[in-house]
Amino acid sequence: MSNFSLINNSSSSIAQSKLAGTSNQLTKTLQRLSSGLRITRSGDDAAGLAIANTFRSDVSVLSQGVRNANDGLSTLQIVDGGLNTISGLLDRAASLASQSASGTFQGNRDTLQAELGKVLSEIDRQAQNIGLGGAAGTAEGRFNKAIEVFIGGGASANAAGNAVSVDLSNSRVDKTGLDLNQINIGNGTGNVTGAQDISAGITVAETLSFQSIGSSGQLNSFTVALSAGATASNALDTINNDANVQAAGVKASLDNTGKLVLASSQFFSVSSSVADGAGQTGIGGSGAAIGDAAVSGAANKQAVAISAAGGTPAVQTLSFSGDQIGYAGSSKNVTFTSAATAAAGATAAVNAVNNDVDLRSAGVFAVQTKADGSEVAFVSLKSFNLGISSASTAGADNNIDALQTQTAVGGAVLTGGEQGAKDAIDAIKAAVATLGEVQGKVGAGQNNLTQAIELASTQITNFQAAESAIRDADIAQEASNLARLNTLQQAGVSALAQANQSSQALLSLLR
């Protein structure tokens, strides 16, 4: 039973409440129509918003993943172009070697070797430019590794399916990686240096000390440690897998008698930490240790024995001359002071030569080559003359006194001529096969990235559709709601006006 009251207008209050609700719904509908979104604030659908945000995040990750894959694809295309160029250079190298291998060739094989050297240098340059011209971890070999291209789309960021792996490890394609450092199709003949028979393995731990001339002319020193108990195969792997050994162009192998052979077309020296006659099998074992070989692979060398200076240390002069190193008709002299021990005297001689700027520019270096440091080898990539003199006439004052006049220096080179050219053809054939393996890896990587882009693009479309189904407004439905709510609002306003007029009707009872 309702009361008629002048104080409270219940009908007006109800009408206002309903009108406010209609206005709120109308405002929300207008927001959805103007934004195109069903969820304009968290309160609209908190659970749905969380799911939609996950889909949107997945779309962002995958979109960047597609860009990553396209960047990776571009990089592999650059690498592939360089590999194709190197393949063409190998074709030219094979042609030169084939020409030199013919017994009817009447020209100068050294001319062919000179061009071959240019071809190999260009292979090095191309390989370095595409990031496959050095050992892993170097700037030249920056892509000589397993490359992970992150795409996304997996259950977690660390899931295996999130990335495409392009494994280019062990894909070095410069002349060192293609094992072309030791080919010679010119006229020269000679040998490489061997060492102790290691067919029975290494019984005492040894450290091999190498020195080589780098690509920019600097003298590099490095060591390789061999463990006791290592087999001959282990020793070869340890040496050949060393990044510094590879950079020096040195290759270790066993000859048919089980003797270790180290060879390179570039200068290098090597000595063992184990002295002669120690009675063990190994590189520095009894017999001729590798340190006794003085300098291996040097184009030109002069090895000089060092003795202990038993008297008053004397100043000694080393004189270098030669047309090829730029001292025709005159000498470049350096001096050093002999020492009480052979090793100290050798060190003094080596430092004097290697610290001389002019000799370094001329490409002349000195290295200690015996395990006990008692021998110095003076080397250069060009022929030169060496003379040694001292102000002291007492032999006890001098470490070096064997050479008093200029002595021409010459050394070994790799076997050339017809046989060298035939060996080069086999080496180039193996290099072509190695390059083909790398091209196969690059091609597989390109295909994998292309497929990953296609999958990621499909996932992006699906995730966007799923997000749209949750977050986006149904425009047709909201337009219908807008018409309904506009009508309802107008009716509510009219009803409120009528409710406000009801109190006026009560006044007629008081007349």
Q: Are residues 357 and 289 in the same domain?
A: no
> Is residue 2 assigned to a domain?
no
The span from the CA of 118 to the CA of 229, in Å, is: 42
Q: Are residues 75 and 94 in the same domain?
A: yes
Question: Last residue of some domain: 297, 317, 346?
Answer: 297
The span from the CA of 268 to the CA of 295, in Å, is: 7
Q: What is the mean pLDDT of each run of 10 residues along the chain (511 residues)?
A: 66 82 83 78 79 86 91 93 95 93 85 86 91 84 89 72 86 87 68 57 77 65 84 86 82 70 67 52 38 42 72 82 70 85 85 82 74 73 73 75 50 65 90 94 92 90 85 80 84 81 72 64
Here the CATH number for the domain that contains residue 421 is 1.20.1330.10
Question: Last residue of some domain: 375, 393, 412?
Answer: 412
- Scan for tokens 């894959």, then name that residue: 69
> Is residue 359 assigned to a domain?
yes
Q: Are residues 64 and 172 in the same domain?
A: yes
pLDDT at 188: 57
Q: Is the dihedral of CA 319, 322, 328, 329 positive or negative?
A: positive
Q: Are residues 164 and 70 in the same domain?
A: yes
46, 437 contact by CB (below 8 A): no
> Is residue 28 assigned to a domain?
no
Secondary structure of residue 469 in the 3-state scheme: helix
38, 32 contact by CB (below 8 A): yes
140, 131 contact by CB (below 8 A): yes
Using DSSP, how many helices (H) and how many strands (E) does the chain show? 9, 16
Q: Are residues 290 and 307 in the same domain?
A: no
Q: Which helix (H) or strand (E) holds 330?
A: strand 327-337
3-state SS, one letter per residue, for 196-228: EECCCCCCCCEEEEEEEECCCCCEEEEEEEECC
**What count of residues does the chain have?**
511
> Is residue 25 assigned to a domain?
no
Q: Are residues 89 and 162 in the same domain?
A: yes
pLDDT at 90: 95
Q: Which residues contact 504 (CB under 8 A, 6 or more apart)?
A: none
Here the CATH number for the domain that contains residue 364 is 2.60.40
Q: Which pTM does this prediction carry?
A: 0.55
Q: How many domains does the chain have?
A: 3
> Is residue 507 assigned to a domain?
no
> Is residue 147 assigned to a domain?
yes
Question: Last residue of some domain: 267, 297, 327?
Answer: 297
Where residue 249 falls (left for φ over 0; alpha for ψ -120 to 50; beta otherwise) is left
User: Which residues form the domain of 78?
Assistant: 49-180+417-465
Distance of CA 263 to the CA centre of its chain: 25
Q: Are residues 287 and 316 in the same domain?
A: no
pLDDT at 239: 87
Q: Are residues 144 and 230 in the same domain?
A: no
Q: Are residues 198 and 218 in the same domain?
A: yes
Q: Are residues 307 and 293 in the same domain?
A: no
Q: Are residues 251 and 314 in the same domain?
A: no
Rg of the Cα trace of the chain?
Answer: 42
> Is residue 407 assigned to a domain?
yes
Q: Are residues 167 and 60 in the same domain?
A: yes
The span from the CA of 82 to the CA of 187, in Å, is: 31
